Amino acid sequence: MLETEKNYVYVGKKPFMNYVTGVVMQFTTKGAQEVTIRARGQFIGRAVDVAEVASKRFLEGTVKVAGIEIGSEEFQNEMGRKVRVSSIEITLKKDPQ
């Protein structure tokens, strides 16, 4: 699959179920084989919640966690101070079995 064809869901401050529905629809309506859930900073825990609820409640037995990566970016804030923010990427994949 080309990088440009990857299906991303970015988790932020919208209502929780928006993200779960987003993930579920990619698999069910759009026929995606793989969806990657991304978040930064304070939304990392939420991304894990989205992945768990989507894969265990809504898509149970059809989708599994295929990979998880964490990372971090450093940048300067308005005060000129170095700030580090962590990020996470959780990839869900259609389970052939």
As given in the structure block, the two tokens for residue 55 are 């894969």
65 or 93: CB nearest its own copies: 65
User: Quick one: which of 11, 38, 90, 91 contacts its own copies (CB under 8 A)?
Assistant: 90
User: Quick one: which of 14, 28, 42, 60 contacts its own copies (CB under 8 A)?
Assistant: 42
Q: Are 42 and 12 in contact (CB under 8 A)?
A: no
Which 1-40 positions form the footprint of its own copies (CB under 8 A)?
none
Q: Rounded to whole angstroms, how far apart are CA atoms 50 and 22?
A: 10
- For residue 94, the minimal CB distance to its own copies (Å) is 18
For position 95 contacting its own copies by CB under 8 A, the verdict is no
Q: How many helices (H) and strands (E) does the chain have?
A: 2, 4
For position 66 contacting its own copies by CB under 8 A, the verdict is no
Residue 78: count other Cβ atoms within 10 Å of its Cβ: 6
Q: Are 46 and 74 in contact (CB under 8 A)?
A: no
Binding site for its own copies (CB under 8 A): 41-45, 48-49, 51-53, 56, 65, 68-72, 84, 86, 88, 90
